[in-house]
Amino acid sequence: MLTRCPVACKQCQPPDVNPRDYAGEVLVLNSSLGQIRIVPDFVRAPVTSALVLELANHPDACHNCNFYRNEAVPQDGSSGPPYGLLQGSLAGLLRVPEKEGGDIAMKRGHVAMIPGTREFFVNVMDHDTWGSSMTVWGSLADRQSMDLVEAMLRLPYKEVKHPTYGTVMRMLEQTVSFTALAAPAEGAAGATGTAEAAGGAAGVQ
């Protein structure tokens, strides 16, 4: 595991992470509302998964981690708005992950990173065409995690128009802070990290 350096002096580069160091771990996002468990996908997105778990092994570095956007599933069967996702920030990541994983049909339960940022989101509906532009790095581990995600979608929000793209977004009136923790995976599925082996996105209904 890494000895974390905040690199606040700007004199050095963040160290590399080795995905093998984190095999057999799952991510737990611990908030006042409960826990969300995520199985990392070391096959599709090994570096992103390792960066997230490196942060989880240093929970004090996650002091600005929070959920801030809650988009319900659209009732008309469209792709949005709203967009069927819960979005948050992993602000304590050592560095911004690069895009990886190739093109994938993004499904309910998948967890994705927005390239060029430390921002991520959990899908609560299928977004089959989004995978080419996002990094899918994990999936919800169980039904209880999805239940909590869906509960957060019902929290009070305000609509905000994106200043550049004009997208109308649902932003939480009060952000939900969380701490990123690492926990041992249960069985071989967590060690391999594949969404399918863990019953990942397709298994969370």
What distance in Å separates the CA atoms of residue 74 and residue 58, rounded to the nearest whole number?
37
Residue 15 lies in a domain: no
Q: What is the full DSSP assignment across 122-177?
A: EESS-BTTTTTTSEEEEEE-SHHHHHHHHHHTTS-EEEEE-TTT--EEEEEEEEEE
Range of the domain at 122: 24-185
> Taking 80 as the threshold, does the pLDDT of residue 46 lie above it?
yes
- Quote the pTM value: 0.86
* pLDDT band with cut points at 50, 70 and 90 for residue 55: very high
Residue 74 lies in a domain: yes
DSSP-derived pairing of the beta strands 168-184 and 66-71: antiparallel
Residue 195 lies in a domain: no
- Predicted confidence (pLDDT) per residue in 121-137, tens digit: 999 999 998 988 999 99
Residue 172 lies in a domain: yes
Hey, is 40 helix, strand or coil?
Answer: strand
Are 1 and 19 in contact, with CB atoms under 8 Å apart? Answer: no
The CATH code of the domain that includes 80 is: 2.40.100.10
Residue 140 lies in a domain: yes
Count of domains observed in the chain: 1
From the centroid of its chain, how far is CA 162? 21
What distance in Å separates the CA atoms of residue 137 and residue 125, rounded to the nearest whole number?
17
Hey, is 2 helix, strand or coil?
Answer: coil
- Predicted confidence (pLDDT) per residue in 96-129, tens digit: 999 998 889 999 999 999 999 999 999 999 999 8
Residue 87 lies in a domain: yes
